[in-house]
Structure 1
Amino acid sequence: MLAAWRRLEQALDPIALFARVAHLPYSLWLDSGAHGRYMILAWDPVRRVDLRFDDPQCPFETIDQLLAEAPQVDAPADAPPYLSGVLGTLGYELGWNLERIGDAKPNPHGIPDGVLILPGKAVILDVLEKATWVVAVTESASADTAVDELLSWCLEPCAPVEAPTTPVARSPLRPEIVKADYLDRVRQVKQYIREGDIFQANLTYQIAVEVADGDPWALFLALRETNGGTYAGYFNIPGYVILSGSPELFLRWDQQTIETIPIKGTRPRGTDAASDLALRDELATSEKDRAELLMIVDLERNDLGKFCRAGSVEVPVLFDLEAHRTVWHQVAVVRGRLPEQIRASEILRATFPGGSITGAPKIRAMQIIHELENSRRGIYTGALGFLDARGHSAWNIAIRTMTYTAEREIRLYVGGGIVADSDPEDEYKETQVKAQGMLRAIDRWSAGTIRPEWV
């Protein structure tokens, strides 16, 4: 397998480019929001692997094998973190391969628990340097010829992306659980905490809406407009499109260091500057939210400590506050130094799924989650990201994430961490706050009022 790249000293329009391929099977978009540096557009895979939690071979070892096939790229020091490698999704249930959690719940669409691609074509935009990197991977043809053809394609005039103007008929929202049942399940989690089983569990549910028609790529543009997403992504798996506006980093590593940035603590944004500041201050002084974050920081420190250099795991940031389009979040940064030789599978086996969306202790929390939740989580609270052949990697926690199925059903997913002093009513309200950006996206998309420009 061969690879070649070209650097273009101009920033192309990512939305206009990707609009030409968003409908293709396994086309994928990753970006880091309005203030991020890189966007990755990838399609036309030369290899694809579907992962299932009950595969005889550990799915994380399968990732190592696929990554080993990716050609090495002789790139300069200022190259983006991704040029050649593996991109895709890791569903929450892949964590069941490592520990016995319970009997599998129905998988009505037959969707794999993970899908990874080694793309034949990729375009990486460096917003800071206003540069575009174009990469082609081939199995037999000349990689130089392929990358020059791809570059020519990128430079072809693109028709402006027009906002959809035709309304999309849709059903009312259909939560899979009524409020009273969610409150009761919060109380059940609190009972497990009182009995000493766990310190915290992340309890979630799904909301469905049926639509008559509509373009999932346009829905993703609406999600970016209403929700934003520091670690966002779109992945067109046939029959099951993933649209993620995640604010949370699961893992990011290079050849030397690794970090995770867990979120615990949420408040809505205010309606004016004064109320916004008051809500921020309320989160900053909440003992309950601080305790919730500390529990997960301890869990993440333990997970990284399984493979990082002895004594290197640290918490350089604790109780920081981040402003997003619809919410305030409280975050921490947990960081460690990697040994000289370590495989991606070793890292993922020790950390997946992320502790912020399971609870602590992780395995017992996952067992209780399985008992209390109605459905498989799938991509929700799994991860979407990349592994580069040079040793770079980044994955989100797939929250603020929707799926769009071939049956024209949109599913969105919400939840929150439950601790000893959680108030069930407050926890339910928090799930509604977290849903707002996604619901507004569906409203704008179905009304045909999306602005397609880059924000």
Structure 2
Amino acid sequence: MAWDPFQQVELWQEREPEPFQKLDSLAALAPELPDLPDDAPPFLTGVVGYLGYELAWSLEVIGEAKPRRYAVPDGVLMVPRRTIVVDDERKETWVAVVADNEAEKVLQAAVEELLCWERESLVEMAPVKGGPIQMVPEIAPDDYFQRVQRVKEYIGRGDIYQANLSYRISGSMNGDPWQLYRCLRKANPGAYSAFLRFADHAILSSSPEQFIRWEKGWIETKPIKGTRPRGREQTEDGRFKEELAASEKDRAELLMIVDLERNDLGKFCFPGTVQVPVLFAIEPHPTVWHQVAVVKGQIRPGVTPGQLMAGMFPGGSITGAPKIRSMQIIHELESSRRGVYTGSIGYVDRRGNGEWNIAIRTMTWWNGELSFHVGGGIVADSDPRAEYEETIAKGKGMMEAIRRFSEREPAAAGRGM
């Protein structure tokens, strides 16, 4: 948990020609932050925030950006004064305070304040107070079928091998987005979840997917390709898992993205160090099964966090292959901006290490308006109806969270950024 920034920047795609340099400029403040003990957990101090999908327009020629529906920045990065990190494995809580006056009493008071805030705000929160939310897709199923067919035509012409096609679902919402995030964490917990709240907007993410993580000179990415719903009982659940593991289509889909990610890592890794230690692993998640790979490499000296992000952004698993042409086709066929969806949320810590998610299973709240996207990878033998059903499966956890919030069910407290 991090807040009270002493540095914060907003990034707008049409105003910021080099947004990833902002990450480096904030990371350059690290010498001003407290030194960390050797056994400190990740991100005790550093830069934290999100980078939206349209910031990729600064990297490649994609097309004229679509108009904004909400006045939400394409990215926000901050260096917080106050941070709490809870290590569940070691049963430890760490607190960092960036203070002008480092007198012992000032720091002691700040620590007590933070621990009191954690106890009162996260453990003993009141039941959720929501209200009816009617979420409406921006396109009908038949429209999605037609767009899938258009992608397949591009594949048949040789433009691309695969493209990730998505659509937006939106509605009005009364109530506190933090309370909705608590429902989301309960309905669809994700290993790379985050809650970020700003003056007039909030990002609620229950992402299962790591984008990139780097530490001690090595970087890895973990693309997801291939999805099946979880079964209602053990036999059905096992059948869906086996079906995904045996699917030639899904294996080919992941292999295309692994090749793309190997190429992206090669931009800043030593030759010969890029490797794929995990391929075609099947991972369980609350509402779906996912097929996952791990690609890693050793970073050449002198490469900055901003250069790492720019070299990989956006993640290949949510664009397609080849990346640039897929993004151009996505831009042609999709109806609206993606915003934070398929961008990234994460941090660069005091030691220069970083970890960022792929912002899927992610909602955006803006002044009472709520929206999220769902999508999937389209390849030559994709069945339009099956692809549409996959988007429904991916949205199931978010829709369940909205249902619980609307019906005012209590939710267990969850931790986010």
* TM category, shorter: over 0.9
Q: Is the 8 A contact 2:129 2:175 kept in 1?
A: no
Distance in structure 2 (CA, Å) of the matches to 1:163 and 1:439: 22
Q: Residues 114-172 of structure 1, C-alpha deviation per residue, up to 9 Å, x if partnerless?
A: 1000001100111111111111113x3337555322211134363753443545133x3
Q: Residues 401-450 of structure 1, C-alpha deviation per residue, up to 9 Å, x if partnerless?
A: 111110x1211210000000100000000000000000000000110113
Cα deviation, residue 90, structure 1: 0.3
Residues 1:429 and 2:392 are matched in the alignment:
no
| 1:164 corresponding residue in structure 2 | 127
| 1:187 corresponding residue in structure 2 | 149
CA separation of 1:417/1:358 partners in 2, compared to 1, >3 Å: closer, same or farther? same
Q: Which amino acid aligns with 2:407?
A: A
Q: Secondary structure at the match of 2:360?
A: coil
Residues 1:264 and 2:225 are matched in the alignment:
yes
Distance in structure 1 (CA, Å) of the matches to 2:355 and 2:104: 28
| 1:352 corresponding residue in structure 2 | 313
Q: Residues 349-397 of structure 1, C-alpha deviation per residue, up to 9 Å, x if partnerless?
A: 1100000000011000000010000110000000000001211100000
**Which runs of no fewer than 5 residues in structure 2 stay unpaired?**
none
Q: Secondary structure at the match of 1:310?
A: coil
Q: Which amino acid aligns with 1:179?
A: P
Distance in structure 1 (CA, Å) of the matches to 2:83 and 2:130: 33
Which of 73, 79, 90 is the equivalent residue of 1:129? 90
Residues 1:93 and 2:54 are matched in the alignment:
yes
**Which runs of no fewer than 5 residues in structure 1 stay unpaired?**
1-40
Distance in structure 2 (CA, Å) of the matches to 1:454 and 1:55: 35
Q: Structure 1 vs Structure 2: percent identity of aligned residues?
A: 52
CA separation of 1:166/1:454 partners in 2, compared to 1, >3 Å: closer, same or farther? closer
Q: Secondary structure at the match of 1:367?
A: helix
| 1:174 corresponding residue in structure 2 | 136
CA separation of 1:143/1:183 partners in 2, compared to 1, >3 Å: closer, same or farther? farther
| 1:315 corresponding residue in structure 2 | 276
Residue correspondence of structure 1 range 13-162 to structure 2 within 5 A = 41-55=1-15, 57-70=17-30, 71-138=32-99, 140-142=100-102, 146-156=106-116, 158=120, 160-162=123-125
| 1:446 corresponding residue in structure 2 | 406
Cα deviation, residue 72, structure 1: 4.5
| 1:200 corresponding residue in structure 2 | 162
Q: Is the 8 A contact 1:263 1:356 kept in 2?
A: yes
Q: Secondary structure at the match of 1:375?
A: coil
Q: Residues 231-270 of structure 1, C-alpha deviation per residue, up to 9 Å, x if partnerless?
A: 0000002222100000000000013110000000000000
Q: Which runs of 4+ in 1 moved over 6 A?
A: none
Residues 1:331 and 2:282 are matched in the alignment:
no
Report the aligned-residue RMSD: 1.6
Distance in structure 1 (CA, Å) of the matches to 2:193 and 2:107: 26
Q: Secondary structure at the match of 1:158?
A: helix
| 1:371 corresponding residue in structure 2 | 332
Q: Which amino acid aligns with 1:257?
A: W
Distance in structure 1 (CA, Å) of the matches to 2:319 and 2:105: 47
Distance in structure 1 (CA, Å) of the matches to 2:293 and 2:192: 16
Q: Residues 78-128 of structure 1, C-alpha deviation per residue, up to 9 Å, x if partnerless?
A: 211212210000000111101111111111322211100000110011111
Q: Residues 172-198 of structure 1, C-alpha deviation per residue, up to 9 Å, x if partnerless?
A: 321101111000000000000000110
CA separation of 1:102/1:454 partners in 2, compared to 1, >3 Å: closer, same or farther? closer
Distance in structure 2 (CA, Å) of the matches to 1:363 and 1:146: 52
Distance in structure 1 (CA, Å) of the matches to 2:102 and 2:321: 51
Q: Secondary structure at the match of 2:98?
A: strand
Residue correspondence of structure 1 range 217-236 to structure 2 within 5 A = 217-236=178-197
Q: Is the 8 A contact 2:183 2:401 kept in 1?
A: yes
Which of 249, 252, 257 is the equivalent residue of 2:210? 249
Q: Which amino acid aligns with 1:258?
A: I
The 10-residue stretch of structure 1 (200-209 or 445-454) with the greater mean CA deviation from structure 2: 445-454
Alignment TM-score, normalising by the size of structure 2: 0.95
The number of equivalent residue pairs is 411
Distance in structure 2 (CA, Å) of the matches to 1:167 and 1:135: 33
Q: Which amino acid aligns with 1:168?
A: G
| 2:375 corresponding residue in structure 1 | 415
Cα deviation, residue 66, structure 1: 1.1
Cα deviation, residue 52, structure 1: 2.2
Distance in structure 1 (CA, Å) of the matches to 2:270 and 2:167: 38
Q: Which amino acid aligns with 1:320?
A: A
Distance in structure 2 (CA, Å) of the matches to 1:292 and 1:84: 38
The 10-residue stretch of structure 1 (304-313 or 154-163) with the greater mean CA deviation from structure 2: 154-163
Alignment TM-score, normalising by the size of structure 1: 0.87
CA separation of 1:309/1:403 partners in 2, compared to 1, >3 Å: closer, same or farther? same
CA separation of 1:390/1:265 partners in 2, compared to 1, >3 Å: closer, same or farther? same
Distance in structure 1 (CA, Å) of the matches to 2:104 and 2:322: 51
